Amino acid sequence: MPKWEQQNFRLRQNHTWTAKKNYKIIVLDRGAVRLDVPKSWDMTMATDESSGRTTIKLTDKPEPKDDCRLQLTPMYLPPGIDWSALSLTEMLEEAMSGPDEHEVLGRTHIVHEQRRDLELCWCETRFVDPVEKREARSRMCLTRRADVQALLTLDYWPEDARRVLAIWEEILRSLRLAEYVKDPTRGPER
């Protein structure tokens, strides 16, 4: 299990990183996971006590005033194994089939997408937030490429759907796994 620490780098003048206007690039473990989020979002890291896994949390505003939250958990699979026969859709279904922590109001069908050698699937759940006692929504995405798998969970309020779902689309569009970079100050080789 890698030990994580947050580092910010000053990019070289001729770097190759690019992001959509008003977005920033998040790169974990030199390219194990890469995605773009709005520039204004805050990032924190925590270790899940039960699994020992590091989770990255990105929020649109500092907690507890945040209106949406993206949690990202990278997972490293044993190398040298062809994982393609292990269905991500079935894994996501299985993960959601257990007892629910919250009162579930509804769930969409799972969306599956294959992009060359990156596979992802996601669905949305509507539920009652136990603290606010009102409807909330959560999108869960399981993705895999090579020996890296990641779980992304985006929680938001229904009234923020228009804004948040545009961000979700950019997160999924920009999502990359196991595309490592030698020098993070220069960016990916082209």
Which CATH number characterizes residue 101's domain?
3.40.1000.10
Domain that holds residue 78: 23-177
Please choose, from the candidates 154, 166, 84, 156, the residue with its C-alpha nearest in 3D space to the C-alpha of residue 123: 154
Mean pLDDT per 10-residue run, the chain (190 residues)? 68 89 93 96 85 89 94 93 92 85 92 95 96 96 96 97 97 96 86
At which residue do the structure tokens 């393609």 appear?
84
**Which phi and psi (to 5°) does residue 164 adopt?**
-70, -40
pLDDT at 50: 74
* 151, 140 contact by CB (below 8 A): yes
Whether 32 is in a domain gets the answer yes
Please list the alpha-helical segments (H only) found in the chain: 88-96, 161-174
Q: Taken in order 24, 125, 103, 128, is the CA torsion positive or negative?
A: positive
pLDDT at 11: 83
Whether 56 is in a domain gets the answer yes
Whether 37 is in a domain gets the answer yes
Confidence (pTM): 0.91
Q: Determine the Cα–Cα distance for residues 72 and 74; give it in Å rounded to an integer.
A: 6
Q: How many domains does one find in the chain?
A: 1
Whether 183 is in a domain gets the answer no
Whether 160 is in a domain gets the answer yes
Q: Three-state secondary structure along 22-70?
A: CEEEEEEHHHCEEEEEECCCEEEEEECCCCCCEEEEEECCCCCCCCEEE
Whether 18 is in a domain gets the answer no
Whether 166 is in a domain gets the answer yes
**pLDDT tens sequence across 142-164:** 999 999 999 999 999 999 999 99
Whether 188 is in a domain gets the answer no
Chain centroid to Cα 36, Å, comes to: 10
Q: Bridge partners of 38?
A: 23
Q: Determine the Cα–Cα distance for residues 129 and 104; give it in Å rounded to an integer.
A: 10
Q: Provide CB contacts within 8 A for 176, sequence distance 6+.
A: 31, 33, 34, 35, 118, 145
pLDDT at 1: 46
Q: Taken in order 95, 97, 99, 103, is the CA torsion positive or negative?
A: positive
